[in-house]
Amino acid sequence: MYERILVPYDGSESAMHALEAAANLATSLKSYSAFTVLYVIQEIPRVEAARLAGDVNAMLVEEGQQAVAPALDLLTQKGVKAQAIYLHGDPAEVISREAGKYDVVIMGRRGLSTFKELVIGSVSHKVIQNTACPVLIVN
Ligand SMILES: Nc1ncnc2c1ncn2[C@@H]1O[C@H](COP(=O)(O)OP(=O)(O)O)[C@@H](O)[C@H]1O
Ligand SMILES: [Mg+2]
C-alpha cells in the first residue's frame, strides 16, 4: 500500500523522528519500492548572495548534504535502501509537487524555525493542505 515513501528532511529533531518512523514503516512493510529523503534548498535573497564570496549554489548544496548525512547514516544502520535528492525552491511547494510521485509523505511537525507560536510549522501546514496522498506528521 505504501510502496513509495517520501521523507522531507531539514536536519531538525522533528524531521529525524519522522525519518525514524519512516524507516520503521519501510522495514515492517518489507516491499517498498522507493524511499526518498528530500532536502529543499531555499533560494537566498540576491543581495545576500552577492555579499557571499564564491559559488553560492555549491555552498547551499554542501550545507544540504551535511544536514542530510546523519539521516543517511541512520538508514544505513537500519538497512533501509534510500536515495537523497536535493531540489531548489520553496520547501512546501517542492514537497507537495514531489509528493505526486509517492504513496505517503512522512515529515516532522516542526522544523528549524525558532518561531514557535503555531502548533505546527508552516511547511507542514502547507503540505497537509496541498498534498493529495496521506501525510504522516511526526512530533
Ligand atoms: N527545506 C526543507 N527541506 C525538506 N523538508 C523540510 C524543509 N523545511 C521543512 N521541512 C519538513 O517540514 C517539517 C516541518 O518544518 P517546518 O514546517 O519548516 O517547521 P518550522 O516552522 O518549525 O521550521 C520538518 O520536520 C521537515 O520534515
Ligand atoms: Mg522550517
Say what the pLDDT of residue 17 is. Answer: 98
In this prediction, residue 23 has a pLDDT band, given cuts at 50, 70 and 90, of very high
Instruction: State the distance from the centre of ligand 2 to the C-alpha of 31, rounded, in angstroms.
Output: 31
> Span 43-53, mean pLDDT?
80
Q: How is residue 93 written as a grid cell?
A: 511547494
Please give all residues whose CB falls under 5 A of ion ligand 2, grouped by chain where several chains appear. Answer: 111, 113
Helix (H, G, I), strand (E, B) or coil at 77: helix
Instruction: State the distance from the centre of ligand 1 to the C-alpha of 112, rounded, in angstroms.
Output: 7
pLDDT in tens, 75-107: 999 999 999 999 999 999 999 999 999 999 999
Task: Count other Cβ atoms within 10 Å, centred on residue 105.
Answer: 25
